[in-house]
Amino acid sequence: MCSKRKTCHGGPSQQEQDSPAVANEVFVIDEEVSHLTRLKSEPSERTRACLHAGKSHISTFKLLSSRESNRSGFGRFSSADCSYALRKHLPVRGPWCVDNMDCAAYISQFSSDGSLLIAGFRGGRIRIYNADKKWKIHKDITCKSLRWTVSDIALSPDQQYLAYSSLSPTVHIVNVQNALKQSHANSTDIHEGLNFSAADDESSFGIFSIKFSKDGREIAVGNSNESICIYDLGANKVTERIQAHVG
């Protein structure tokens, strides 16, 4: 700031009224102060005391539980509690470009620990980026037997395997933690196919969502065949079909 301005309570200063640019500058500065304050906020002393937290970290779950049970006797979050919760969950940087592909991105998700970003593209490509290494490409995957696009992706709980689906009854699994950076389906790397179709299926169907079980032994899919299917990876077969919805 080049000059010192005096403001009056209840409204802008005379200099702000005379110059919109000055008023805008004050607004920006106020926003920066508010932003920095929010970043450094801590829960109120009352909240810390009722949670017996001392100076230790308080999880958002504990904050919400405390508010719902009214442990502080306040009936709601204090301003300090709100700022503390917001700083943990609202973006404070970006957005910025991670990659520039020649085909449209269709789906993306982070690993459970936030260290990896997986993105699926309509050109039959999947890329895994390492968030801890300045978004360096961890794995560049060329998919097998796609129809139109990669419809969904799922990372196993141990982050060893990636499953991807398309508008077909087959889900493919690839090892994403081996030494190969480039993974071309059945050329440089094996993309094992899991067939979810049944002998009595009247027509082909597409898979729109996939998910590993918590122990990584099963995969559940939702498809356009009005069902949810469970695949046992150890038995290498579909073990359950649930008629769950109308497509």
How many CA atoms within 13 Å lie on the side-chain side of 203? 7
Give residue 19's pLDDT. Answer: 52
Domains and CATH numbers, the chain: 63-90 (no CATH), 105-243 (2.130.10.10)
Max CA pair span of the chain: 81
Q: Alpha-carbon distance 198 to 24, whole Å?
A: 65
Residue owning tokens 């027509």: 203
List phi, psi (to 5°) of 233: -70, -30
Across the range 185-191, mean pLDDT stands at 78
Backbone dihedral angles phi then psi of residue 47, each to the nearest 5 degrees: -65, -45
- Which one has a higher pLDDT value, 197 or 57? 197
**Mean pLDDT (whole number) for 77-100:** 76
Euclidean distance between CA atoms 194 and 183, whole angstroms: 18
CB proximity list for 85: less than 8 A, separation 6 or greater: 60, 63, 77
Half-sphere exposure of 233 (CA within 13 A, CB side): 17
Residue 88 binned pLDDT confidence (cut-offs 50, 70, 90)? low
pLDDT tens-digit readout, 141-168: 998 877 788 999 999 999 999 999 998 8
pLDDT-above-90 percentage for the chain? 34
**Cα 210 to Cα 109: distance, rounded to the nearest angstrom:** 12
Q: Give me the pLDDT at residue 137, please.
A: 95
Q: Provide mean pLDDT across the span 75-96.
A: 73
- Helix segments in the chain, DSSP class H: 14-18, 20-39, 45-50, 60-68, 79-89
Does the global pTM surpass 0.75? no
pLDDT bin (cut points 50, 70, 90) of residue 91 is: low
Is it the case that residue 106 has pLDDT exceeding 70? yes
- What integer pLDDT is reported at residue 76 of this predicted model? 78
Residue 54 scores a pLDDT above 70: yes
Tokens at 52, concatenated = 């017996």
Q: What is the mean pLDDT of residues 84-109?
A: 80
Q: For residue 139, what are the β-bridge partners?
A: 128
- The more confidently predicted of residues 190 and 234 is 234
- The pLDDT-based confidence of 2 (bands split at 50, 70, 90) is very low
